[in-house]
Amino acid sequence: MKRNPVYLILILILLFINSCSMVQEKPAAPAWYVEQGLRGQSFEVIGYGDAGTMEEAKRRARSDVVRKINVIVESNWKEIQNCRQNPDAVMDCKYEVLAEIREQASMELDDVRVLKQQVVGDQYFIALRFVNLPIARKILYEIEADVGDICSPGNRLPYYAGTPLAKKLKSALGCEPALSLVRTRGLWYVAIGDRMIRLSQADFTELWSGQRDVAVSLETVVNSSGRPEQQVSRGDYFHLRVASQETGYLSLFVVYNTGQTVSLRTNVRVEGGTNLTYPDLNNYEGLIADIPEGQTNTRDLYLAVLCPSPRDFDRYEPIDEKLLASENAYQFGALIGDIDGCRLSGRMMHTRQKGERK
């Protein structure tokens, strides 16, 4: 039987239309996402992402934030080059911009917040907001409406007064705010009033005190030169030199740039005028400067603590690989409270790769 060509064409057209209707079109993106014009403060970076799952959409939005920060860093580097055109302002300009670059380049993007999100069909659209400020300015931004409460009288641990962060906040607020260091769910926060502000690893050293007390002095001495130094190369040997001008109980601690805290000596009875070297160079070569895997350099804080009576420092164990791998090692916040009422001196040691310029 001979088929009508027109009939065949109609069948083909119907099949084509039916197949098109079975293809699911990708949902149209919301206008706010297409335009990417959400506005925040001048120091906020907004990243956008979309995907078939919320988790993937957030990951893409974070990547967008990182990309935009890299653009800012590149722009600031060009600003340094422009500074060189003005010899009168070059030093101030260079240091200011370099400090900003260091802040931005070392950021951990854990503290991002959802600015806007929407689900269209089976597609997730999200905008994340990141406050691109150094920690002191970020705290001021977060507590702007509650300065009165922050400056009200309350318990203040003396240790914090000597930290760079407390000094910056005091200068801005006109008071000494009550700070505390808190670790929860594997992250560090600085608590101020009823606010908890996330600390990145770069921010963490803002809570390190290099204060010196006349009752107990501490120096980090490089073995090869015999001189006090605060910078060493990986593999160098160094030791601690402590002098106590008062009678008491001496303890030595090291705090790593992650907040892991270990004891070196605890509750050693000393008389006024005592000089002590750690470790004993008659038995050991010294402490060896090292850098954690995956890092190019590191900063560690060494503390000499002189207390009028023995303290319970049992929670701070000697250095041990298993200890450092556990959450129990992150005890710096607790140590600040435990040394209250003691005399204290601190020294920061910066370890860099061999051959790297100071």
Q: What is the pLDDT of residues 153-197, one digit of tens each?
A: 666 788 888 888 888 888 877 777 788 899 988 888 888 877 788
Q: 335-338, long-range: CB within 8 Å, 24+ apart, which pairs? A: 335/253, 335/255, 335/261, 336/157, 336/159, 336/160, 336/180, 336/181, 337/157, 338/311, 338/312, 338/313
Q: Is the pLDDT of residue 12 over 70?
A: no
Instruction: Look at residues 341, 317, 306, 185 and name the one whose alpha carbon lies nearest to residue 254.
Output: 317
First and final C-alpha spacing in the chain:
93
pLDDT band at 55 (very low <50, low <70, confident <90, very high): very high
Measuring CA to CA, how many Å separate 61 from each of 35, 209, 218? 15, 36, 46
* Cβ–Cβ under 8 Å, residues 232 and 289: yes
* Cβ–Cβ under 8 Å, residues 234 and 287: no
Q: Is the pLDDT of residue 109 over 90?
A: no
Q: 308-315, long-range: CB within 8 Å, 24+ apart, which pairs? A: 308/248, 308/249, 308/341, 308/342, 309/248, 309/249, 310/249, 310/267, 311/249, 311/251, 311/266, 311/267, 311/338, 311/339, 311/342, 312/338, 313/251, 313/263, 313/266, 313/267, 313/338
CA atoms within 13 Å, Cβ hemisphere of 52: 1
Highest mean pLDDT among 1-10, 110-119, 167-176, 340-349: 340-349
pLDDT band at 53 (very low <50, low <70, confident <90, very high): very high
Residue 179's CB is within 10 A of a number of other CB atoms, namely: 22
Q: Is the pLDDT of residue 97 over 70?
A: no
The single-letter code of the amino acid at 235 is G
pLDDT value for 89: 44
Hey, what domains does the chain have and what are their CATH numbers?
36-131 (3.10.28.20), 135-206 (no CATH), 208-352 (2.60.40)
Q: Is the pLDDT of residue 105 over 80?
A: no
Instruction: Look at residues 299, 341, 329, 97 and name the one whose alpha carbon lies nearest to residue 207.
Output: 299
* Cβ–Cβ under 8 Å, residues 111 and 92: no
pLDDT value for 56: 95
pLDDT value for 106: 42
The single-letter code of the amino acid at 126 is I
Q: Is the pLDDT of residue 152 over 70?
A: no
pTM for the model: 0.71
- Tens-digit pLDDT profile for residues 256-307: 988 899 999 999 999 999 999 999 999 999 999 998 887 788 899 999 999 9
Which residues lie closer than 8 Å to 36 by C-beta, 6 or more apart?
A: 46, 48
d(C-alpha 90, C-alpha 68), whole Å: 26
